[in-house]
């Protein structure tokens, strides 16, 4: 017999969670530094994640670089979220 199909109760994938953390870190950077200041590649941003008691470090410079390189693989929703923050290449 075929295995029973269970309804998915999982939340967002690890990749989606990582994108959301990067997006939150980028929004925090833009709020503090302004949209016109590029993020240095080695910069890490501390963000607060709902399920965590301690702030989480996001390697924002690497995230921005990797996200830009992989922009053709982003969903329309992800690209739109980046555009809303003023990211020119999105």
Percentage of the chain exceeding pLDDT 70: 89
Average pLDDT value for the chain: 90
- Residue 49 pLDDT class (50, 70, 90 cuts): confident
CA 85 – CA 87 distance, rounded (Å)? 6
- Residue 87 pLDDT class (50, 70, 90 cuts): very high
DSSP secondary structure string, 28-74?
HHHHHH-TTSPPPTT--EEE--TT-SS-EEE-HHHHHHHHHHTGGGS
* Both structure tokens of 13: 């994938």
- What is the reported pLDDT for 52? 77
Per-residue pLDDT reduced to its tens digit, 5-46: 555 556 789 999 999 999 999 999 999 999 889 999 999 999
How do the domains of the chain map onto residue ranges?
14-84
Asked if 63 contacts 25 with a C-beta cutoff of 8 angstroms, the reply is yes
């Amino acid at each position: 017999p075929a295995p029973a199909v269970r309804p998915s109760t999982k939340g967002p994938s690890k990749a989606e969670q990582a994108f959301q953390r990067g997006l939150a870190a980028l929004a925090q950077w833009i709020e503090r530094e302004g949209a016109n200041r590029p993020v240095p590649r080695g910069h890490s941003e501390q963000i607060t994640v709902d399920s965590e008691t301690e702030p989480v470090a996001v390697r924002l410079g690497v995230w921005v670089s990797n996200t830009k390189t992989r922009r053709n693989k982003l969903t329309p929703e992800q690209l739109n979220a980046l555009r809303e923050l003023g990211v020119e290449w999105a």
